[in-house]
Amino acid sequence: MSAETGAYLPEGLPRPGPAIDGLGAEFWEAAKRHELVVQQCRACGAFQWGPEWICYQCHSDDLTYTRVSGRGIIYSWERVWHPVHPALQEATPYIVVLVELPDAGNVRMAGNLLGDRTQDVVIGAEVEAVFEDKGEGDEAYTLVQWRVVE
Amino acid sequence: MSEDATMRGKAAIVGIGETTYYKRGQSPDPEVKLVLDAIQLAAEDAGIDVREIDGFAAYANDRNDPSRLMTAFGSKDMTFNNMVWGGGGGGGSAAVANAVAAVLAGYSKYVVVYRGLAQGQFGRFGQGPQAAVAAGPGAFTAPYGLLSPAQSFAMRIRRFMHEHGAEQSALRAISMATYRHAQSNPRAVMYGRELTEEMYDNSRMIVEPFHLFDCCQENDGAAALIVTTAERARDMKQKPAWVMSAAQGSDYRQAATAHNSPDYATSNFKTLAPRLYAMAGMGPEDVDVLQSYENFTGGVLMSIVEHGFCEPDEVNDFFTLENFSAPDGKLPLNTSGGNLAECYMHGLELVHEAVRQVRGESTCQVPDANVSMVTSGPMVQPVSDLILAADRGVDG
Ligand SMILES: [Zn+2]
């Protein structure tokens, strides 16, 4: 894992935040520290993503966020050509990947695939998390992006 | 399933109505007026006074409150009102099913199922969220430019295409069949706008693998239909479209956020289709004509597979313009033009077309169509589906 400068997508898109009830806050706080975490049940060990207030497997509410390696596998992908947000007018094409995390019960996370926007994307390719710091001051946040492991 | 426990053949759709279908922003009337008009047209079609409608069933967070509608009509009494949870068109068939449940339970005499949509007057589905903060589940997608329905669903379709070797030509066949059928349908917004293979191939890419013509339109309009019991339906103005079965719901953890449904490359019909067929006492081989909700062509692809019309690994052979064309293709599909080319009325226009096929009144009529099926809202949660028939097998 590493940090990179230069945002993949321009400023102006919605910035991430926890749900109104607070769910998911730990993930975004960890991302700011450049740590990738996934919700895990302390009672039965199940990983679950996105986060929920109880474990889907054993219904315990004793849940934590466990740090994982940041290594993943591309599960699906898309290249976006038509911008649906004003901030993206000059930003297409761009690539979104869905990444499976083998060391977190194969939960999936979406992010951008860094590098050439016209690259061939291969389902099954190995990727690693890259932390992208964006925004400033009270509005600073960190996105979890992905890069193909050479 | 015991005979008594099902709705099979016990209720019917007895009236349909729709306003003019407009391109987004073109409606001269406000949305609620469109809904009032559509319901009145449906009542007229059924041969009843609109004040006889005593039940209201809708879906997709329709903005037009039944209490306002019955007040506008001056109806004496409202006996039932119902909204199917979830967005998109997933509740289209479920709303019909709930209307059937209401008349069979003795709540209501006539239940109207309706949908009004003026995307020119309210928010557009095709646009991403414009808020400064994406809170909760949207936080895991929106900041990455994963914003619109097309972008959300392309990810599922890509995975399906990867798992089963499905090619772009399969998506193209769906789009071309719907556009072909719209050319016979004067109601269709795309009437007179033929789509050729070259036009599809050369059309701009929205989000791979979707071209422009893989995506539904954005429209203004309203549609309504009326459900009542078999006893009433037998003696009414129109030939009844018998409701033979309906199913609604969602598979295991399909609403897991951040694209985490365990079974991902799915339209969400795997648990519904067996229930639908079991209640009808039918199988895919009995279906004469299919109206399959197209938010995007790829959703139709998976809906057709999950309803057993072809094996997932056979889609490249089965998905052809010829197979999907009325009147004599193997599976005439979206014979009014559907969401892509008739009107994006959140799939209620598909139920109307299924009724027209049963009545023998489609502009792309399948000869002697008896079993007419609808699938509503692939890839969302919940989804629903419906089988109508001209002959319910008990009238002799
Ligand atoms: Zn647990």
CATH number of the domain that B36 lies in?
A: 3.40.47.10
| Mean pLDDT calculated for residue range A133-144 | 96
Ligand 1 centroid distance, CA of A126 (Å)? 28
> Which chain A residues have a beta carbon less than 8 Å from that of B257?
49-50
**CA atoms of B96 and B337, how far apart (whole Å):** 21
pLDDT score, position B294:
96
Q: In chain B, how many domains are there?
A: 1
Of B134, B142, B259, nearest to A108 by CB-CB distance is B259
Which of B162, B204, B258 lies at the smallest CB-CB distance from A108? Answer: B258
pLDDT confidence tier of residue A2, bands split at 50, 70 and 90? very low
The residues of B that are catalytic are 293, 344
Average pLDDT over residues A28-57: 98
- Inter-chain residue contact B140 with A143, CB threshold 8 Å: no
Domain holding B79, by residue range, is: 3-122+215-389
Q: Report the share of chain A in percent with pLDDT over 70.
A: 97
Residue B90 within any structural domain of the chain: yes
For the four alpha carbons of B24, B26, B30 and B32, in that order, the dihedral sign comes to negative
pLDDT tier for residue B3 given thresholds of 50, 70 and 90: low
Q: What is the pLDDT of residue B348?
A: 98
pLDDT tens-digit series, residues B276-295: 999 999 999 999 999 999 99
Domain membership flag for residue B146: no
Identify the pLDDT of residue B95: 98
pLDDT at B4: 67
Say whether pLDDT at B167 is over 80: yes
Contact A23/B139, CB-based, under 8 Å? no
Mean pLDDT value of segment B343-363: 97
Closest CA in chain A for residue B139: A16
Domain for residue B162, yes or no? no
Q: How far does B262 lie from chain A, in Å, by closest CA?
A: 9
> What average pLDDT does the structure give for chain B?
96
Can you tell me the distance from the alpha carbon of B314 to that of B301, in angstroms, rounded to the nearest whole number? 11
In a domain, B32, yes or no: yes
The CATH number assigned to the domain with range A14-148 reads 2.40.50.840
- Looking at this protein, which amino acid is placed at residue A73? I
Contact between B48 and B76 (Cβ < 8 Å): no
Tell me what pLDDT residue B108 has.
98
Q: Quick check: B6 pLDDT over 70?
A: yes
Residues in A closer than 8 angstroms to B132, CB to CB, are: 14-15
> In three state form, how does the secondary structure of chain B look?
CCHHHCCCCCEEEEEEEECCCEECCCCCCCHHHHHHHHHHHHHHHHCCCHHHCCEEEEECCCCCCHHHHHHHHCCCCCCEEEEECCCCCCCHHHHHHHHHHHHHCCCCCCEEEEEEEECCCCCCCCCCCCCCEEEHHHHHCHHHCCCCHHHHHHHHHHHHHHHHCCCHHHHHHHHHHHHHHHCCCCCCCCCCCCCCHHHHHHCCEEECCEEHHHECCCEEEEEEEEEEEHHHHCCCCCCCEEEEEEEEECCCCCCCCCCCCCCCCCCCCCCHHHHHHHHHCCCHHHCCEEEECCCEHHHHHHHHHHCCCCCHHHHHHHCCHHHHCCCCCCCCECCCCHHHHHCCCCCHHHHHHHHHHHHCCCCCCCCCCCEEEEEECCCCCCEEEEEEECCCCCCC
- Give which of B124, B125, B140 to mutate to test A binding, by max A Cβ within 10 Å: B140
Contact A57, B253 (CB under 8 A): no
* B184 located within any domain: no
Collect all residues of chain A within an 8 Å Cβ-Cβ radius of residue B258: 49-50, 108-110
What average pLDDT score do residues B238-253 get?
98
Residues of chain A in contact with residue B145, where contact means CB-CB under 8 angstroms, are 9, 13, 80, 85, 88, 91, 94, 96, 112
What is the signed CA dihedral for A97, B318, B269, B85, rounded to 10 degrees? 80
Report CB contact under 8 Å: B139, A143: no
In sequence order, what are the beta bridge partners of A100?
A: A73, A108
Residue B350 domain flag = yes
Chain B nearest C-alpha distance from A68 (Å) = 17
- How far, in Å, is the centroid of ligand 1 from the Cα of A44? 4
Cβ neighbours of B137 in A, within 8 Å? 19, 50
Say how many Å lie between the first and final Cα of chain B, rounded.
24
pLDDT of residue A3: 44
Q: Quick one: which of A88, A110, A89 has its CA closest to A98?
A: A110
Can you tell me the ipTM of this complex? 0.96
| Residue B83 Cα distances to A29, A42, A111, angstroms | 38, 38, 34
Domain boundaries, chain A: 14-148
pLDDT of residue A4: 46
Encode pLDDT of A72-102 as tens digits.
999 999 999 999 999 999 999 999 999 999 9
The alpha carbon of A42 and the centre of ligand 1 are apart by a number of angstroms equal to 7
Task: Give the chain B residue nearest A145 (alpha carbons).
Answer: B144
- B159·A78 Cβ contact <8 A: no
Structure confidence at residue B87 (pLDDT)? 87
Residues 6+ apart with CB under 8 A from B377: B86, B88, B89, B90, B91, B92, B293, B295, B347, B383, B384
Q: Answer for the pair B152, B335: CB distance below 8 angstroms, yes or no.
A: no
Mean pLDDT computed over B195-219: 96
Report CB contact under 8 Å: A85, B147. Answer: yes
Q: Which one is predicted more confidently, B69 or B3? A: B69
User: Cβ contact (<8 Å) for B146 and A96?
Assistant: yes
Return the number of other C-beta atoms located less than 10 Å from residue B51's C-beta.
14
